[in-house]
Each structure stands twice: as structure tokens, then as C-alpha cells.
Structure 1
Amino acid sequence: MAQIQSYSNLDQGQFDKLVSQDFPFIISDCNFGSCLQKWNAEYLSSKLNGSSVKVHVSEEPVLNFLTKNFRYETQNFGEFLQKCAHPDGDQQYLYLRSIGVDKRGRDVADIQKHFPQIADDLVMPPFANFCTDIDCEEEGTTKCTKRHLFSSVFRISSKELVVWTHYDMVDNILLQVKGEKRVTLFPPSDAPFLYIRGDKSEIADLDQENIEAEYPLFSQATRLDCHLGEGDAIFIPALWFHTTKALQFSIGVNFFWKDRQLAAFYNRTDVYGNKDLIPAADAYSNVDKALKHLSKLPPKYRQFYLHMIIARLNKELTE
């Protein structure tokens, strides 16, 4: 498989062509605004100290969503930043993935809306061709051909913190503003090798010793690692599995957008961009029903029909 390439001075046509290839790429030397010069713990503390944020807190650097080795705490933004950037002797690993303010969890993350004190520091890259018209209808009735932002997500993490391997339903650009970060990706075709539960992998620590002893299929996966320095960004296509490791105190931003052709299939209650498309969710439900029916049969017959179903699915993959 090809390696992740880096591109600079992109224009809209080049960006569109690269996105259409459905393969990650790094964006360097791009103007994302004064955030690249301003944003650090001290500056953000001075701007956001009066606000509060909900953060992940763990005694372990590798966060595992499936085992929940972390807890959620609401903290003062300034205090959170200082603990995150300048940890004391009792090391805690802190992680902010910004969310909306709706207590019912129905609000999509939006830096312009939820962090207006610093919103002007962040510039949307012209090559991404994002629509900024708040009156524009994005769900299929408009002739607008621009990309419509689904969400803009603030991410801040302690040094060494690892975010679990997962996939999203929407394309995104991850901008590294402060610090350095390792991004590891796997193509969608690697799903059989990553021990997926829901949208997340059971393999929490990709750097653990003897990983293949516990997860033997992982040896067949195609791992792509890349390094993001300050000011670098990476395009992560929908359905690509990815995980990040903060090599230093880290500040970043995600720009997520939906595929207009899939507008009718997105789950409208999805505020994170990771709920499966409606037809896929229905298909999963039918698989569960099929397995329940087959469980009534003796093992010999159950295995026979499971093999028959697998054969039909493999045929679909090759046609």
C-alpha cells in the first residue's frame, strides 16, 4: 500500500482530487489563522478561564473506551490547561474532546459557537471550500456545491495520551496546532484484523509487546504511521480506522463534513459523526436476528448455515 504523502500550497482543485482518492494525506504550510502562533496553555487560559469543560481523566496514558479506564470530570478550563500542560508528580492523563452545551447531548461541537473568545484565531482553509452561509440548506434542496461543516472539534491532551482506535462516518481534517502527534491509520479493508466492537477496536495499545499473541489477526493489518508537527494537518477519510498519540502537550482541531450524496442515510441524532449509516445499522440488526434464529439449531446445522451465509457475503465482496 502507498505511504501517506505530504502536500503544501494546495488549491481547491488539488484538494478535491486528493479527497476523491479516499486515501489519507498530510497538509503542510497552510494558513489556518493566528491560532498557530497564539494558542498555548497560557493564552487559552487567559481567554477561556471562566468557562468549564467536560474532560476525560485517567491514570493510564492509553485511553480505552471499551473498558472505560477513564472518568469524566467537569473542570475549569484554565485549571485543566495548566494540569494538562504542566503535570505535577501525581500524573493524570487528561483529554478534552469538545462537545456542545446541550445537557441532553444533542448539540454538535462548534468552535465558533462554543468558544467565541478564540474563534477568530482559527481560519477555515480556502482549499476546503467550506460553505459559511448559515441560511444555506445543506440537506439536498440547495444547489450549493460547497462542503458543509458538520462539526469543528477542539482537542487538547496530555503528553503521551493515546486515543482509542476507531472510525468515523464523515471525512475530516485534523489540524495540529500545538505540540507534536503521531497518527496511526488502517484502511477500511482491515476491519477483520482489528477486532472491532461497534466503531472501536479492542486493541487499545498498538505499541504493546507481543501484541500478535493476544490478537493474532493483527499481523495481517496494514499499519500507516505519520507524524504531525505544529501547523500540519491530515485528511482522514470516512471509515478509515485511526488513533493518535500526543508526543507532547497537544492542542488540535478537527473539521468534519458530511458527504452530500449520503444525506438521507446519516443518523440525525449523531452528534459525533460515528453512528453507522441507517441502512448499515438495519443490516447489523438483521444479522443479530439471523444469529438468534440459527442458535436454535444443533451445532452441526448452525455451523453449516453460518458457512452458507459467509459464502454469500464473500460472493458480494468479489462481484
Structure 2
Amino acid sequence: MCTPGSIPVFESISAADFRSTIQPTRRPAILRGMPVGPCVPAWADLEHLKRHTPNGPVRIHVTTHAHMDFRRKNFQYGTLDFHTLLERASRDPEEAITEPFIDPRELYYLRSVSLDPRSRETVRLERDFPDLAHEFRLPEFFPPDRFFSSVLRVSSPGVRVWTHYDVLDNVYVQVVGRKRAVMWAPSDALNLYLDGDKSRVVDIDQPDLAAFPKFAQATPFEGWLEPGDILFIPAMWFHNMTARDFGVAVNVFWQNLDQGLYDRKDPYGNRDLLPGAKALRMLDNVMKQLEELPEDLKDFYGRQLIARIEKKCLLNEKCPE
């Protein structure tokens, strides 16, 4: 396995410093001691959260497996009133639930979407949770016209969300609880066994190297988020997040590239950039053409394609042999 690195921590820097010295490096960073408003520590009080949020239904992931697997779907979707979600997610994990979806000790994860089921707009904290939004402050990391979405996240202790990448620059503001973040550079894409925007390697600490041998060559970068910490996640950096405690966070996304590169019909911000999506569709067509050939020749021309792609792309060196 490659030796893991640490996500660098920057103490009490200005938003201007972030824009001029951190964001241009295209590398992740933990920003500590920055002003995020009275949400820390106010949101750690469950009753305060209830008083400042509507108790409408929210769509959640429900699982009995701490490591959620998007391929095997070891979770199901459910709907709970928001206050009930807070009570269940913040309880002692050993405490049984009286009316569970699947198991008395099930776990929960919320990635908020618009509370209006008819809305196709991007999710915004100030629209769906206005009283919480008044207590949350984000430094001026980007021009206001580049804002895309602000997502409220709630998780039970121990829940791990699968490794994936985002096409937008974003910051993950940890408000309540601690969270472990593990990240990989975009240049590690060939070592992460991608299925769309997600990695098929579910257990990153004890990976099945017989099934995923190249994962041993991937270089992880790890850090711990405390309440008030901000994690900068550059677009296309793979990340895997695990809640150490009951967690509440706000994830803010913005368009760091030319706005014409993004899919305008994408309310979640998880569709590939338009040129990339077009290239992938073209490659699918190329592979379809090879289906007419015998297996050995299909293999040969497939390797030719790989050689051409490698020649055009600058792949960083990983672990030495």
C-alpha cells in the first residue's frame, strides 16, 4: 500500500488567502478557526435544532451497515419527519428504535434535497432551513454568482459514505460531531475501480486486494474534522467520509469553471462536465464498433486505445516498484 499522507491544516487564514494560495493548488485542505457563525456550538443542542427547523418529511438512507455500498445497495430509502430523524440519528447506537424501517439498531444518513417535492431547483439551506441559515456563515470563498447549492447533511455515528468525486469545487463545513475524511487525487482514478463517479472499493481500510489489486497503489490523504472545521474538496478529488459521532454538516458547492461546461439540467451537481460526458459517450460507441471483431483482436485494439489515451494524458507516478 502507498504511504498515506495528511490533509494539510491551515489555521485562521482569510478568505482572500484561500482564493489566492489554496484553491489554485487544486489540493484539499482543512481550514480551522474560520468564522462560520453561531451554528457552532448552537446546533449541538438537539432542542435548539428542533426549534429552528421545520418538521417536514425528508428522504433518507436507512442501513444496518456502517459502510454503505451503492452497488450492493445495503441500504434502503425511507421518509421521516426531520425532528424524528434528529432524535434517531443522535441516539446512542445501542439504543433500540421502537418502530424501525428494517432493524431496531438501524443507522441514518441525510443528504438534503428540496423540501418541495415538485421543485427541480438546486437545494439551498436558506430556502429549506431559513432559521438555520441565519446561524451559518460561509467566508467569501467564491463570487456569489458562482454559487450552486448548499446541502444539509445529517448522519448517525459510524456511517460511512462511499468514495466518490464531485464535478464542482466545494467546502464541507463540519458543525456538529467529528468526521474522518480520506481523499485521493484525480490521478488515482485508474486505481480506484470506478463505476461512474463512485469507487467499487467499499472497505478502504481492509480492501479486498484480490478483487482490487491496483487499490494498493492508490495514495490516500487523511484528516479529521472537528466542529467548525472546513474541508476544501477540489473538483474531481475522490473522498470518503465517516462520521465518528452524530454529525451535522453543511456542504456548499460552486462552479469554479466556465459555466457553459456544466449541465444546466443537473439540479444535484453530480453529472459529468459536458465535454467529459460527450467523450465518454463517444468511447462507448467506439467500444461497440470493436464488438464485431474476434476476442483477440478486440483485446489488441482495446490496448491500442489505452496506449493512445495514456500518450495524451499526463499520469502522475505513484508508488515506486
Equivalent position to 2:296, from 290, 297, 300: 300
Equivalent position to 1:64, from 56, 66, 69: 69
In the TM superposition, what is the alpha-carbon distance from 1:50 to its structure 2 partner? 2.5
- Aligned mates of 1:213, 1:258 — CA distance in 2: 39
- The answer for the alignment partner of 1:227 in structure 2 is 224
- The answer for the alignment partner of 1:245 in structure 2 is 242
CA contact (8 A) 1:49 1:76 kept: no
Larger mean CA deviation between 280-289 and 159-168 belongs to 280-289
CA contact (8 A) 2:5 2:219 kept: no
CA contact (8 A) 2:5 2:221 kept: no
Residue 122 (str. 1) matches residue 119 (str. 2): no
- Aligned mates of 1:276, 1:114 — CA distance in 2: 26
The within-5 A match list for 1:155-304 is: 155-208=153-206, 211-259=208-256, 261-304=257-300
In the TM superposition, what is the alpha-carbon distance from 1:303 to its structure 2 partner? 1.8
Residue 310 (str. 1) matches residue 295 (str. 2): no
Residue 103 (str. 1) matches residue 120 (str. 2): no
- Aligned mates of 1:231, 1:130 — CA distance in 2: 22
- Aligned mates of 2:128, 2:220 — CA distance in 1: 35
CA contact (8 A) 1:111 1:154 kept: yes
- Aligned mates of 2:51, 2:118 — CA distance in 1: 29
In the TM superposition, what is the alpha-carbon distance from 1:3 to its structure 2 partner? 3.6
Task: Give the RMSD, CA atoms, in angstroms.
Answer: 1.7
In the TM superposition, what is the alpha-carbon distance from 1:74 to its structure 2 partner? 1.4
Equivalent position to 1:35, from 3, 17, 39: 39
In the TM superposition, what is the alpha-carbon distance from 1:106 to its structure 2 partner? 2.0
In the TM superposition, what is the alpha-carbon distance from 1:213 to its structure 2 partner? 2.5
- Aligned mates of 1:52, 1:101 — CA distance in 2: 8
- The answer for the alignment partner of 1:13 in structure 2 is 16
Equivalent position to 2:58, from 45, 53, 56: 53
- Aligned mates of 1:273, 1:129 — CA distance in 2: 17
- Aligned mates of 1:2, 1:20 — CA distance in 2: 20
SS of 1:213's equivalent?
Answer: coil
In the TM superposition, what is the alpha-carbon distance from 1:105 to its structure 2 partner? 6.3
Shift of the 2–65 alpha-carbon distance from structure 1 to 2, 3 Å rule, reads closer
Deviation string 1:125-162 (CA, Å, 9 cap, x unpaired) is 14x1442xxxxxx4xxxxxxxxx211101011000000
Whichever residue aligns with residue 307 of structure 2, its letter is A
CA contact (8 A) 1:46 1:78 kept: no
Larger mean CA deviation between 270-279 and 229-238 belongs to 270-279
Q: What is the aligned-residue identity percentage?
A: 36
CA contact (8 A) 1:168 1:273 kept: yes
In the TM superposition, what is the alpha-carbon distance from 1:5 to its structure 2 partner? 1.3
Shift of the 286–231 alpha-carbon distance from structure 1 to 2, 3 Å rule, reads same
In the TM superposition, what is the alpha-carbon distance from 1:2 to its structure 2 partner? 6.2
Shift of the 125–227 alpha-carbon distance from structure 1 to 2, 3 Å rule, reads same
What is the TM-score normalised by the length of structure 2?
0.89
In the TM superposition, what is the alpha-carbon distance from 1:6 to its structure 2 partner? 1.0
SS of 2:219's equivalent?
Answer: coil
SS of 2:258's equivalent?
Answer: helix
Equivalent position to 1:85, from 87, 90, 108: 90
Deviation string 1:264-289 (CA, Å, 9 cap, x unpaired) is 11011222221101111111111111
Ranges in structure 2 where 5+ consecutive residues have no aligned partner: 97-103, 316-321
What is the TM-score normalised by the length of structure 1?
0.90
CA contact (8 A) 1:172 1:237 kept: yes
Question: What number of residue pairs does the alignment pair up?
Answer: 301
